Structure 1
Amino acid sequence: MSAEVWVLVATAVLAVVAICAALVAVRAVRQMSRNSQPAVAPQPAPAAVVETPTRPAAEVVLLDSADVTTDDLEPRIVEGRLVVPPTQQQVVQTVLGRPGVRLSVFLHGAAHALRPESRDRISALMRREFRRRRRERLQAGRRAVRSTRPTPPSDQWLGS
């Protein structure tokens, strides 16, 4: 196969992998947003901030979601620091941003693209596209020849 075909195959595989990764990410965000729409609860009264001379009062610390129970999901002050637990969206973004997860998503998409049915579908699409472009080139060439060199009138039209 020519280098052009290899480049097209690599581009097609890369496109399939990117689409798969995007679908996985969109599905995770949609599921997360469906699950994270709680009823609006009244806000508790803010607690007094205890300031210490060594630390600023506005320092924010995010807790790991595994260490926090559902009752502890409201901001609180611990040792003079405002502790805010992460939202579900922040947790999902953090997890999906990790290199291991990103590599896993990439490998899953590559494995899907390399399956025989996906390869056959991609090669059929590329074959159709090549044929369509070739047909268009040939038609454009014929039109160009016709426009520069009109056909002479035939005897049939002259009435002879």
Structure 2
Amino acid sequence: MTTDLKLTPPQNLYKQDYYMWLNITAQQLRDRQFDDVDLDNLIEELEAMSGSQRRELKNRLIILLMHLLKYQYQPSRRSSSWVRTIWEQFYQIESLLEDSPSLKPYYEEIFNDCYLKAIPAASSETKLPIKTFPSLSPFFPQDVTNPDFIYSLVNQEEI
């Protein structure tokens, strides 16, 4: 016996078949069937998407800052892998900020906190003492999102 999920109340469909719920909700919106839209779950999903973008920005910034610290404070271990990671995180952050310019104030708000989180990560990976790294970021938020700054930093000497 099969159940026609399209006849299931929207709140149940959300729990039973998320993919179908997304497609039906999108079609209801396209068809302007606003009274049929499962608003509670739609609002929850939109809020989750917003949080996801913020978490991704924060995580990528921590990784970028950690690699910039590793690159700057452990020059003898520099590798093309570190440079690739720096550029990858740079491009992903750039893309997030281009797609969602309203994240820019959040980026500036979290920058120092991300830097402080990058220090123990860099210390752990480099085996350098935490006190090796300055407590205030040697990088400015606008520099870390500037390709010229990244290029000049990672091309100080050939790997």
- TM-score range for the pair, normalised by the shorter chain length: under 0.3
Question: Going by fraction, where is strand more abundant, 1 or 2?
Answer: 1
TM-score by length of 1: 0.26
| Structure with larger RCO (C-alpha < 8 A, sep 6+) | 1
The structure with the largest helix share of the pair is 2
